[in-house]
């Protein structure tokens, strides 16, 4: 179960690696800023064994701040948020149950 959840989490995070954050400048035009989300997690984990998922969110290669990173689980065809973290330094860390 934990391994399946972890694989889903990794797939979700890797799918979002090429996401785009919209920046709203003071002018009437808007610009899209390329972002990247990295992830580091163990290749497997035992049931009821603690593990960490860590990574960094960047925009144009610089740490992205004032954003929220969501940890989600896929149940059938529905994604459920199981944790969220405000990113103030560009890095995040989750310890799923």
0.75 cut: is pTM over it? no
* Cβ–Cβ under 8 Å, residues 9 and 41: yes
Instruction: Give pLDDT tens digits for 24-51.
Output: 444 555 678 888 889 998 988 888 888 8
* Cβ–Cβ under 8 Å, residues 49 and 41: no
Residue 63, number of CB atoms within 10 A of its CB = 13
**Alpha carbon of 11 to those of 17, 33, 44: distances in Å?**
10, 22, 14
């Amino acid at each position: 179960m934990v391994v399946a959840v972890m694989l889903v989490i990794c797939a979700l995070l890797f799918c979002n690696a090429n996401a785009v954050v919209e920046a709203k400048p003071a002018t009437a035009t808007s610009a899209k800023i390329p972002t990247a989300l990295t992830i580091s997690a163990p290749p497997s984990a035992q049931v009821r064994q603690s593990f960490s998922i860590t990574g960094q969110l960047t925009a144009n290669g610089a740490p992205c701040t004032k954003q929220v990173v969501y940890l989600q689980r896929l149940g059938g065809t529905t994604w459920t948020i199981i944790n969220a973290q405000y990113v103030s330094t560009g890095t995040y860390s989750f310890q799923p149950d």
